[in-house]
Amino acid sequence: MSYGDLALWCLHENVVVVPRPTPPLLASQQSQPAED
């Protein structure tokens, strides 16, 4: 598993554990962790 895959997995887990609306701005910048 590459670092990018791990990061995406963590983001996915966060979305599943803490569901919340995704602002269009964040949706267009999924490649960059907005909340690190």
Tokens (6 digits) for 9: 């997995």
- Taking the C-alpha atoms of residue 33 and residue 11, their distance in angstroms, rounded to an integer, is 8
If you average pLDDT over residues 2-12, what whole number do you get?
76
More confident residue, 11 or 20: 11
Determine the Cα–Cα distance for residues 20 and 16; give it in Å rounded to an integer. 9
Average pLDDT on 8-31 reads 61
Q: Global pTM?
A: 0.30
The kind and range of the H/E element at 26 are: helix 24-27
- Percent of residues, the chain, with pLDDT higher than 90: 0
